[in-house]
Structure formats: structure tokens, C-alpha cells
Amino acid sequence: MALTGGAATAACILVLLALAGAAEAASSAPPPVDCSALLAGLADCLDFVSPGSKSSQPSKACCGEVKTSVGSPAVVDCVCAAMFSKQTQLPINKTRVYALPNACGTPASVLNRCHGEHPAPFSFFP
């Protein structure tokens, strides 16, 4: 069954609107998360998580940063990404990273998401 002139025009307009909506949805994807900026908020923890660290406990400043950061899914995702990314330029002891929340009195389970997929693109260099 062929569409008549008016029906064909209406069908074409609907297809174009649908394609335009799909293109707009694709172009409105969120920008990559700047992990460098978010991870800078955990700078006081570097001494504890660096390979060969002699620190037996994280500093109070580090624990304050951890307690603030665990409430942010973006920061947790960045920590997870940093542990497994080849872009990370600072060496870190993954075992100590996983131990950090518990050592600071927060649930260690917050880093369980590190074993899953990361939902957003991450950038370590702005």
C-alpha cells in the first residue's frame, strides 16, 4: 500500500523528527569525568597507598578526605578507574587502597563497585 502525498510527507517528517531526537540524545551525553580533579581531594592518602609505604595507618587528614569522598559515586568510580587504568601515573598499592575505607572507619564495601564496569568515561588529564 503506497502512501498518498500528504501521508508520505507526514511520514517523512515523523522519521526526520525521530532521527533528530536520537542525534540530540547522542550528542547530549555527559562529558568525561575529570578524575584528576576528584582524586586530588584524596592527596593526603598518597603516603598510605604508595608502594613501599611504612605508614601503618592513614593520616587523620586522609581519613577526613576518605569519609567525604565515599559519599560521592563519581569519586569512588575514579578511585576504581585509577587502580586499573594504564593512564594512572602514580604507582599505588591496590591492597592498601582497598583497606583504606575500613582503616578510616567507613564501610570497606564502598569499593566493591571496583569489580564491576565503570558507567562513565573517565579522564585523568583535563
Residue-range domain boundaries for the chain: 1-30, 33-123
- pLDDT at residue 28 tops 70: no
Alpha-carbon span 67 to 88, nearest angstrom: 23
Q: Which helix (H) or strand (E) is 21 found in, with range? A: helix 5-27
* Residue with grid cell 587504568, as numbered in its chain: 85
- Exposed (0-12), middle (13-18) or buried (19+): which is 16, by Cβ within 10 Å? exposed
Residue 97 has pLDDT above 80, yes or no: yes
Distance in angstroms (rounded) separating the CA atoms of residues 32 and 28:
12
Q: What pLDDT is attached to residue 99?
A: 92
How many Å separate Cα 69 from the centre of its chain?
12
Confidence of residue 126 (pLDDT cuts 50, 70, 90): very low
In terms of Cα–Cα distance, which of 73, 70, 96, 94 is closest to 82? 94
The confidence score (pLDDT) of residue 104 equals 95
Of 41 and 4, the one with more pLDDT: 41
pTM value is: 0.65
Domain 33-123 has CATH 1.10.3470: no
Residues 41, 69: contact at Cβ < 8 Å? yes
